[in-house]
């Protein structure tokens, strides 16, 4: 597609915070208003992550400058490129890497990005599938990669996954199970137990019924953990991990606090691994996407895909993530919407009505002329 296909104005979800206060809405934008880059993408899809919900509702400090377009994920087709690595028509994706933090993000019909962080779409994934995975699946896979690099193996025993019904949690269950691990899903949604089992969870635990002993070390139940929750949950997990196990600290859906002791680390050799998907170096990023498209390709993408929404539904999706009621992954469709059949029919009916009215008016005028 030539650059001439780029419209002078398109829609983007812009987040402002200035003397007029915080506001985030879809508004017209031109490519020159966006942060710099050497590749322009025609955006097809983005997704909704917890971080997007925080940024889009002003519930968390995500953007480091204003205004910026929201959306930490993007997938689309190259429309123009000054990079040797990408050509017009290439399918590409980008997650994190400063999107909606220091650079304009993926909630935009067109996006200018730096090729430095752009990943060619792996052959085994469609653009839509890549956004079901998005930052959430990338984070789960990065956690597994770091845990294994630090000695975790399936033979050591079960892995606890907290925030299990969320984006990172549900994809972690799928990915860890595929990699041969037995997963214990910890969730606040007991009604989702069947769904979590269907994704591969061997055990489901109601987080509201969890009891963590006060002692620094308690009976070791898990060989490792991926934690999306932080606070008391992460504190409790440090006490119940088997010797030499790893805890991947991914999120803080409950709290950013951590109150524990050094005992699990110095007596059991437990490791606490920090997971930072946004800043992951490019070579590791590319190899993780390769794993996600092959060995660790999630088996249950269709079931984890909650829905694909249009731009108008974005704010409702943010609220579902903020209040913890979301289950799975939401994709945002940013392709220009073709006029629906309904609209075309409506237009045709309106046109016919107008023609009929005109003809009736003409006839009435003629009759009037004859009678006068
Ligand atoms: N480190 C990174 O690079 C990285 C990347 C992506 C995401 N994250 C973080 O990881 C976390 C999950 O992200 P996500 O996109 O998967 O979000 P999500 O889809 O909203 O999932 C979060 C899940 O956490 C659980 N939860 C929510 N509030 C809770 C509370 N007060 N106490 C205990 N559990 C609670 C819920 O699962 P249940 O109802 O099943 O318990 C919820 O579905 C977020 O904190 C996000 O910021 C970090």
Shared-domain flag, residues 177 and 252: yes
Shared-domain flag, residues 24 and 116: yes
Decide if 305 is inside a domain: no
Residue 321 CA: nearest ligand 1 atom is 20
Please report, for the domain that includes residue 83, its CATH number: 3.90.180.10
Please report, for the domain that includes residue 257, its CATH number: 3.40.50.720
What is the rounded distance in angstroms from the CA atom of residue 306 to the CA atom of residue 326?
9
Shared-domain flag, residues 152 and 252: yes
Last residue of a domain, one of 256, 274, 292: 274
Which tokens belong to 101?
């933090």
Q: Tell me: the pLDDT tens digits for 62-95?
A: 999 999 999 999 999 999 999 999 999 999 999 9
Decide if 344 is inside a domain: no
Shared-domain flag, residues 248 and 190: yes
Q: Who's near 107: CB < 8 A, 6+ residues apart?
A: 12, 13, 46, 52, 69, 70, 71, 100, 311, 314, 332, 334
What is the rounded distance in angstroms from the CA atom of residue 24 to the CA atom of residue 224?
39
- Ligand 1 within 6 A of 251 CB? yes
- Ligand 1 within 6 A of 145 CB? no
Question: What's the domain count of the chain?
Answer: 2
Shared-domain flag, residues 201 and 315: no
Contact predicate 88/1, CB 8 Å? yes
Decide if 24 is inside a domain: yes
The two counts, helices (H) then strands (E), for the chain are 10, 16
pLDDT values of the chain reduced to their tens digit, one per residue, 372 residues: 456 689 999 999 999 999 999 999 999 999 999 999 999 999 999 999 999 999 999 999 999 999 999 999 999 999 999 999 999 999 999 999 999 999 999 999 999 999 999 999 999 999 999 999 999 999 999 999 999 999 999 999 999 999 999 999 999 999 999 999 999 999 999 999 999 999 999 999 999 999 888 899 999 999 999 999 999 999 999 999 999 999 999 999 999 999 999 999 999 999 999 999 999 999 999 999 999 999 999 999 999 999 999 999 999 999 999 999 999 999 999 997 765 544 445 555 566 566 666 666 666 666 565 554
What is the rounded distance in angstroms from the CA atom of residue 368 to the CA atom of residue 364?
6
Decide if 252 is inside a domain: yes
- Its domain, for residue 200, covers 136-274
CA atoms within 13 A of residue 98's CA, in its CB half-sphere: 16
Mutate to test the pocket of ligand 1, among 168, 174, 204 (most ligand atoms within 8 A of CB): 168
Shared-domain flag, residues 102 and 204: no
Mutate to test the pocket of ligand 1, among 183, 251, 285 (most ligand atoms within 8 A of CB): 251
Shared-domain flag, residues 157 and 187: yes
């Amino acid at each position: 597609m030539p650059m001439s296909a780029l419209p002078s104005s398109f829609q983007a979800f812009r987040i402002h915070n200035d003397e007029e206060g915080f506001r985030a809405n879809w508004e017209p934008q031109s490519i020159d208003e966006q942060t710099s880059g050497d590749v322009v993408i025609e955006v097809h899809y983005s997704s909704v992550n917890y971080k997007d919900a925080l940024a889009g509702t002003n519930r968390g400090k995500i953007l480091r400058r204003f205004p910026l377009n929201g959306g930490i994920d993007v997938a689309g087709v190259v429309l123009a490129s000054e990079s040797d690595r990408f050509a017009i028509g290439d399918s590409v994706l980008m997650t994190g890497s400063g999107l909606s933090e220091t650079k304009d993000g993926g909630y935009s019909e067109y996006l200018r990005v730096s090729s430095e962080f752009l990943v060619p779409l792996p052959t085994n994934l469609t653009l839509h599938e890549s956004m079901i995975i998005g930052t959430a699946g990338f984070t789960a896979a990065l956690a597994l990669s770091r845990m294994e690099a630090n000695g975790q193996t399936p033979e050591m025993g079960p892995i606890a996954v907290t925030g299990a019904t969320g984006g990172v949690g549900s994809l972690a269950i799928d990915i860890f199970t595929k990699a041969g691990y037995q997963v214990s899903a910890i969730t606040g949604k007991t009604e989702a137990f069947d769904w979590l089992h269907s994704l591969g969870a061997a055990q489901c635990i109601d987080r509201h019924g969890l009891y963590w002993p006060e002692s620094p070390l308690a009976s070791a139940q898990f060989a490792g953990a991926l934690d999306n929750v932080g606070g008391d949950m992460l504190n409790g997990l440090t006490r119940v991990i088997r010797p030499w196990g790893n805890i991947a600290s991914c999120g803080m859906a409950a709290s950013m606090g951590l109150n524990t002791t050094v005992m699990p680390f110095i007596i059991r050799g437990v490791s606490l691994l920090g997971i930072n998907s946004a800043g992951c170096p490019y070579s590791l990023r590319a190899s993780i996407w390769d794993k996600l498209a092959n060995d660790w390709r999630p088996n249950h993408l269709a079931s984890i895909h909650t829905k694909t929404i249009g731009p108008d539904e974005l704010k409702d999706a943010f609220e579902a993530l903020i209040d913890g009621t979301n289950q799975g992954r939401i994709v945002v469709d940013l392709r220009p919407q073709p006029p629906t059949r309904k609209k075309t029919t409506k237009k045709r009916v309106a046109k016919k009505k107008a023609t009929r009215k005109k003809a009736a008016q003409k006839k009435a005028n003629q009759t009037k002329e004859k009678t006068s």
